[in-house]
Structure 1
Amino acid sequence: MGGDAISGISAGNSGLSPSASEITIREAFVRRLDEQGFEGDINLQVSSRLVSSTDNSIYQRLPAALIHPRTQEDLNRAVRAAADGELTLAIRGGGTGTNGQSLTDGIVLDVSRHLDRILDFDAEAGTVTVEPGVILARLNAFLKPHGFFFPPTVSTATRATIGGMIATDASGKGSRIYGRTSDYIETMDVVLSDGTDLQVGRLTAPQLEEAMSGKGLAARAYREVHRVVTEQADEIRHVFPDMNRGLTGYNLQNVLLEDGSFHIARLLAGSEGTLALTKKVVLRVRRLPKYRQLIVVRYASFNDTLRDVQTLLPANPYAVEVLDDRVLAKAQQDVTWHALERVLGTRSTLPVKGMSFVEFVGDDLAVLQEQMAHAVTLLTNSPHEPIDHKAVSDPDIIANLWTLREKSVGLLGRPDGHKQGVPFVEDTAVPPEVLPEYVSEFRDILDGYGLSYGMFGHADVGCLHVRPFLDMLTPQDRALIRPISDAVAALTKRHGGLLWGEHGRGFRGEFSPLFFGETLFAELCRIKDVFDPKDIFNRGKLAPGGAGYPVDRIEGIPFKGSFDEDIVPALREPYALSISCNGFP
């Protein structure tokens, strides 16, 4: 166990000095952990806690303690140790969340250190069993020699864990064809808020009746979710958008399936650790496609880049990803840019303001070539007049080009003077057909504040990543988070879309009633209350239970920039790289 290095520290508004009562509560929790036989690591040092006080977001929240469960049973032990509800538990994977999903002033359960085993692979069944801390890239590296892969493709694949992907129901590139994480869950073993285990999977009607017939927490949860999805079926159909990117946290739409079966894992996926903790999961995997083909298209207008997505969709591409001129300008400073120049050849005589990567995948090369030819015909006849396009079939060059696209987040995160691209309205999604008009209005909002910004993302499904450039060390720029968030939330709602189209809600839970409506939001609160009556799990996120803890508001959570502002000016230059880091490990 790590020693407590808190006493005697005075750090202004940094929050490093807990009160005597807070220390007492934490000590009681640690004592109960020991009594439960906790086998993992317990860290109370400020340094360890600071590591988990940030993620890939603009927020910073110092936890009371950081623990690393060593065994799956350690998760049960941690839940039982928190049974009195004095402290909340937030499970953490790779720390890639852009909205503070794993940040808490309670206890962080980091599963990435020990709970990272690939437990079983069944090639005949096409399934793999993993613990929540397994990193996506490592899983796919394991599967590749067997000819399989786990399809949800996120740009943070080298850091993102499977547990974190389940928590936000992650998707990424290619979701129009391959769907999202919840589409691949066969079964999940989870810990409920009373410390008991539950395995969830697809249930037939008789199996559901049996699951609802008991007296324990699991049976109550099944009954409540079943009640909501049946009584509110019409409201769910009315409220949930008809989009590839669904209304996550809690996904009421896909629990009761068309064949009459019931799959509560669809609800737990996207619940961001607010209902249960994942111990292990059995995932379906797919055969790797044999062939990949790519078309790179350049445009003199980013708006035309977006409009041409609808032109290209009849060719049925696997993905259409777009980059704007700000991302492209940053990309030219990156070592991977030479791969793009090699593909495109001579420089364009027109300024390139937008670019699309249009990819096709499959096992039949003749079919892929037909799709490519169809796409080229569509581009040739497009009213949006792209500058040029080039087909790429070399797998190494395709991989290099996608690496450049995956670096978009990092490229915008690089400092531009005192400003850098920051995430807080960066994963909105709207129906793809209205994306150009939506982006035009989005730009009007940011232009109205005199901000520069970069845009990139999954245009084929209407999900665009937008990062305004702000200096989060200044109160003036931090004060823009609220009005811009409000304006973008209203804009996405008006266009039939979502404020969180890919990366979950996190500290944006206050916007839930806007998108779910008051009726369904009230049902979310009832579901949370049944699953977690003492609000032990990730308190303040998504929906309040019956314990009386409200959902956090975005201005109620400290910004990382407000802590960095305390650094004396003389030290800011020597530590400029640390300050500009967004906290992403």
Structure 2
Amino acid sequence: MAVISLPTPTARRAAPDRDIAGLEAALRAAVRGDVRFDAGARAAYSTDASNYRQVPIAVVCPRDVEDAVAAVRVCHEFGAPIVCRGGGTSLGGQCCNVAVVLDFTKYVHGVESVDPHARTAVILPGTPLDDANAVFAKDGLIIGPKPATHSHCTIGGMVGNNSCGATAQWSGTTAANVERLEVLTYDGERMWVGPTDDAELDRIVAAGGRRAEIYRSLRELRQRYREQIATRFPDIPRRISGYNLPDLDEQHGFNVARALVGTESTCVVVLRAELRLLPKPKHQVTVLLGFPDIAAAGDAAPRVARHSPIQLEGLDEKLLRYEREEHRPTEILDVLPDGHAWLTVDLPGDTEDEARGRADALIAEFGGAACLLEDDDMRQRLSAVREAGLATTARTPNGPDAWPGFEDSAVDPEQLGDYLREFGELLEEFGYGATSLYGHFGQGCVHCSIPFDLTSAPGIAAYRAFAERAARLCVAHRGSLSAEHGDGQARGELLRIMYGDELVHAFEEFKAIFDPTGRMNPGKVVHANPLDADLRLGADYAPAQPATRFRFSSDDGSFARAALRCAGVGDCRRSHPDGGVMCPSYQVTRAEEHSTRGRARLLFEMVNGGVIDDGWRSEAVRDSLDLCLACKGCHSDCPVQVDMATYKAEFLHHHYAGRLRPREHYSLGWLPVLARAAALAPDLANALTATAVGKRLAGLDPQRSLPRFAPARIDRWLRRRRPGGTGERGRVLLFTDSFTTAFAPRIAAAAVGVLEAAGFDVLVPPRTVCCGLTWISTGQLGVATRVLRHTVDTLAPYIRAGLPLVGLEPSCTAVFRSDLPDLFGRDQDAERLTRQTVTLAELLTERAPDFAPKVPEGTRAIVQRHCHQHAVLGADADRRLMEAIGLQAEELDSGCCGLAGDFGLTPAHREVSLACAEQGLLPAVRDAGPDTVVLADGFSCRTQVADAGPGRPAVHLAEVLNAAVRARRAG
């Protein structure tokens, strides 16, 4: 048998001669989807969640499967390399390359067919896992593997990586759940592959052609390397490194589909996947077991695994400490049993009694530090803590940045405890001892982020030395270098340590069978680029350190460090809100550069140069930020707290310095000043803003119905008014924000009524003050700072006297709690103001806990939570207060209303704004019963409901409370 001829490693890594202009023209002519050669798109795709950075040639988002086939055909004609990309969360560098990126996630998603009886489904590659599982839920079925990125990882990416997740303890890896794949080779052969018996194999080979050549070569490869395949592959549940050559064996059915799973886009393009579905467990309980250290937890894992759990996870106290330091919602941690490390064990049952009985048996065997967790909500919170592990350990407030690189090893579960001890010793030897160790312990998988120094030559040399030593240690324990994250560039070079030269050559031959010219994701897995090459940072990392208005105190005062904060986890790429806000523009457009991560990548490229060289003047960055709603959802929902609203404000401040701005920056950015002028002649102002001409002059959408200015300013009346309360609970200062004062004075009046009924004396500022929000959101930070300085100085006597400042508008209140300290730093009056600013609900629940005027029995409400309240203020006090007054409130899982800041009022943003509202808010308002209260504290949310909704008004919580107070008095 002839050995397959392989291109040389040098040829594989060398960039092909390319006619870029010709390639672009040909792709635009052939592809109906997006074809992007611009700097913005290339910057957004320059890296994944790994340590690597390779700027792509272009990005193609095919419109459908046939469009993808057309794109590959053009790339083949020009010899352009290709890399297929799913959620872009790969940690080994396999999703970035100097190649044409095929991104299926924007258009090529959906479940094409489901057979609930056969328990199979055909799914398009760009489909997020959670979206697919939502389709199967009605039949009680589920795709078994569930990576931590399940909300946004894609089926194509899972196939490419052979993904696992915690539930692989029960379901097996992605490969174990693949029935068939439709694949396309670089040279154009399109075929379905799967298990192949001898008779079918003979028929395929006899038919001739490219497919026959592939199958014949695969059969010959199996024969040549049969002994090595049988002896050198570790027999462990999490062997992800290398190619799945054992699946070519007869006993595995010569399964070409499963052999291709985990090849990381180095062999074929996956066009469709037929997956096996599993019945969803009917009942689950969770047992928590405590241990003195993480190695002891590893020792116990094999015994626990004999109880057949769905998940068996290990985590140490360092991980939990980091989560507390990052102010994560970690109430669940309070129920953990005593110990310094824990196993979390999910046990299934057909009935609650069966699941509870299995839990009791496990607890009885282990005794000691153990507890049972049956509440589904608490179980989900614990799962969220574990799923946040990567981001939690990557950017810690009180420690160095940590990175992937050897974050994903797996060993024989029987050797896990010993491996953890020796691995911990190796970390200490290299000075990486602060690392948290956690993972899927039931299958011997260990995760960690390691504080490598990737910005100096000695640090990078230590990184390489550690990776080589760690690889040998892993192999000594019958392990795999990767347990689910794949090899890519981080581990591809190390495969010889695990498999030896002969099997690595077999991998090279396997790739060449499908990709003889080496154009599929070159430099990854086989003939891999060095693990210390193509680093995102590197020994020459020297980003610009521009002076900024915001202090970026969480990033050591460095905008460059803020731009580096994104760890690439991709939570911002969820296709629906799912209980959060981030990232509304991505949910509508599904475009990478309109996700928080994509924007962070552009900012990183801006401060480092190379792809984006025009700094603050960059139009590519401006265009990416244009659809950022400044909702601040990422401030809370992003696991590493990227705050894109602040980054956008800073960028706009510099981008427009010394030149004309868009008209809406003047009309809406200076709204507080214009509102004061409008108060002189409100009828004239309303007449002007109601005309299409007036709206166009202001840069606003002529189709929008703008809020009407109030006939008079309530703040002036409130200053003249004598307090009407008893004052038994003391005095409070009501912040008369510009939105409430100019457009909704009824809310301020209602708030005064409520506060006085609760026993407070209500004061208002002696003159007009403003939080500066409109100037902040439009990047006019010089004006914003002056406005805030005036406000802080005006309020200082009241704040120094200890009065709480009560905010009614969430976005304005959030400025005092978030933006003000980052603009003013160690300013004592500003710090006092930040500490003493409260919402109405916070004040009442904390200082008047017995004040609870009841609404009529059975009163229902749907609640649209303002984004800034979700991200900065929190809503626990609101929930407690609504429960206390008897309001049956349903908080909508609707995300952003789409009208944040000046967004949604301009013609260019209309489509995205309304699409955001249609995610959940507007349908919920339409479906609400006629007696259901629509509750929205945010001015923007109420405006969106009034303008785009079914014509029913939304009200503020102060109005609901005041109505209850008045009803009590009348009764």
Q: Name the TM-score, length of structure 1 as normaliser.
A: 0.88
* Secondary structure of the corresponding residue to residue 331 of structure 1: helix
Query: Is this contact kept in 2: 1:251–1:267, CA < 8 A?
Result: yes
Deviation at 1:257, TM superposition (A): 4.5
Partner of 2:102: 109
In the superposition, relative to structure 1, how do residues 558 and 575 fare at CA in structure 2: closer, same or farther (>3 Å)?
closer
* Greater strand share, structure number: 1
Are positions 1:467 and 2:452 aligned together? no
* Secondary structure of the corresponding residue to residue 457 of structure 1: coil
Q: Distance in 1 between matches of 2:530 and 2:370?
A: 45
Partner of 1:432: 413
Deviation at 1:261, TM superposition (A): 2.9
Partner of 1:156: 149
In the superposition, relative to structure 1, how do residues 306 and 261 fare at CA in structure 2: closer, same or farther (>3 Å)?
closer
Partner of 1:541: 524
Partner of 2:542: 565
Q: Distance in 2 between matches of 1:403 and 1:579?
A: 24
* Secondary structure of the corresponding residue to residue 91 of structure 1: strand
- Map 1:151-230 to 2 at 5 A: 151-230=144-223
Partner of 2:377: 396
Deviation at 1:473, TM superposition (A): 4.3
| Structure 2 residues not aligned, in runs of 5+ | 1-14, 549-556, 570-596, 598-971
Q: Distance in 1 between matches of 2:118 and 2:400?
A: 50
Deviation at 1:73, TM superposition (A): 1.4
Are positions 1:323 and 2:336 aligned together? no
Deviation per CA, 1:320-372, whole angstroms, max 9, x where unpaired? 1011121011122443311232x348xx5xxx421110111132444433322
Are positions 1:519 and 2:511 aligned together? no
Deviation per CA, 1:464-486, whole angstroms, max 9, x where unpaired? 00211245445543443211111
Q: Distance in 2 between matches of 1:560 and 1:48?
A: 20
Structure showing greater Rg: 2
Deviation per CA, 1:265-294, whole angstroms, max 9, x where unpaired? 011101111111011111111111100011
Are positions 1:422 and 2:403 aligned together? yes
271-280 or 122-131, larger mean C-alpha shift: 122-131
Partner of 1:552: 529
Q: Distance in 1 between matches of 2:468 and 2:536?
A: 17
Partner of 1:295: 287
Deviation per CA, 1:441-479, whole angstroms, max 9, x where unpaired? 111121112222111101111000021124544554344
Q: Distance in 2 between matches of 1:70 and 1:581?
A: 29
Partner of 1:360: 347
Deviation at 1:373, TM superposition (A): 2.2
* Secondary structure of the corresponding residue to residue 248 of structure 2: coil
Query: Is this contact kept in 2: 1:311–1:378, CA < 8 A?
Result: no
Q: Distance in 2 between matches of 1:406 and 1:182?
A: 22
Query: Is this contact kept in 1: 2:390–2:448, CA < 8 A?
Result: no
Partner of 2:25: 31
526-535 or 298-307, larger mean C-alpha shift: 298-307
Q: Distance in 2 between matches of 1:330 and 1:418?
A: 9
Deviation at 1:580, TM superposition (A): 2.1
Deviation per CA, 1:474-505, whole angstroms, max 9, x where unpaired? 55434432111111111111111111121110
Paired residue for 1:126, among 119, 122, 136? Answer: 119
Q: Distance in 2 between matches of 1:24 and 1:256?
A: 40
**Aligned AA (2:300):** D
In the superposition, relative to structure 1, how do residues 512 and 149 fare at CA in structure 2: closer, same or farther (>3 Å)?
same
Paired residue for 1:501, among 483, 493, 511? Answer: 483
Paired residue for 1:253, among 236, 246, 252? Answer: 246
Query: Is this contact kept in 2: 1:360–1:368, CA < 8 A?
Result: yes
Deviation at 1:127, TM superposition (A): 1.6
In the superposition, relative to structure 1, how do residues 564 and 570 fare at CA in structure 2: closer, same or farther (>3 Å)?
farther
Deviation at 1:178, TM superposition (A): 1.0
Paired residue for 1:458, among 429, 436, 440? Answer: 440
Partner of 1:146: 139
* Secondary structure of the corresponding residue to residue 212 of structure 2: helix
Are positions 1:282 and 2:277 aligned together? no
Query: Is this contact kept in 2: 1:77–1:195, CA < 8 A?
Result: no
Q: Distance in 2 between matches of 1:427 and 1:360?
A: 25
Query: Is this contact kept in 1: 2:228–2:503, CA < 8 A?
Result: yes
56-65 or 411-420, larger mean C-alpha shift: 411-420
Deviation at 1:189, TM superposition (A): 1.0
Deviation at 1:541, TM superposition (A): 1.4
Query: Is this contact kept in 2: 1:85–1:535, CA < 8 A?
Result: no
Query: Is this contact kept in 2: 1:428–1:499, CA < 8 A?
Result: yes
Deviation at 1:174, TM superposition (A): 2.7
Deviation per CA, 1:224-277, whole angstroms, max 9, x where unpaired? 11222234222211001110012444101123352x732100111011111110
Q: Distance in 2 between matches of 1:563 and 1:114?
A: 38
Query: Is this contact kept in 1: 2:194–2:256, CA < 8 A?
Result: yes
* Greater helix share, structure number: 2
Partner of 1:273: 265
Q: Distance in 2 between matches of 1:124 and 1:273?
A: 32
Runs of 4+ aligned residues of structure 1 deviating over 6 Å after TM superposition are none
In the superposition, relative to structure 1, how do residues 487 and 85 fare at CA in structure 2: closer, same or farther (>3 Å)?
farther
Are positions 1:480 and 2:487 aligned together? no
Partner of 1:574: 559
**Aligned AA (1:531):** F
* Secondary structure of the corresponding residue to residue 439 of structure 2: strand
Query: Is this contact kept in 2: 1:294–1:357, CA < 8 A?
Result: yes
Deviation per CA, 1:189-235, whole angstroms, max 9, x where unpaired? 11112113111122222111111223322211111112222342222
Deviation at 1:188, TM superposition (A): 1.1
Partner of 1:304: 296
| Aligned positions, number | 545
Partner of 1:490: 472
* Secondary structure of the corresponding residue to residue 151 of structure 2: coil
125-134 or 221-230, larger mean C-alpha shift: 221-230
* Secondary structure of the corresponding residue to residue 469 of structure 1: coil
Deviation at 1:561, TM superposition (A): 5.7
* Secondary structure of the corresponding residue to residue 330 of structure 1: helix
- When the two chains are superposed, the root-mean-square deviation of aligned CA atoms in Å is 2.2
Query: Is this contact kept in 2: 1:194–1:217, CA < 8 A?
Result: no
Query: Is this contact kept in 1: 2:545–2:559, CA < 8 A?
Result: no
Deviation at 1:75, TM superposition (A): 2.0
**Aligned AA (1:214):** A
Q: Percent identity of the aligned residues?
A: 26
Partner of 1:86: 79
Deviation at 1:562, TM superposition (A): 5.8
Q: Distance in 1 between matches of 2:199 and 2:176?
A: 23
454-463 or 225-234, larger mean C-alpha shift: 225-234
Partner of 2:650: none
**Aligned AA (2:299):** R
**Aligned AA (1:414):** R
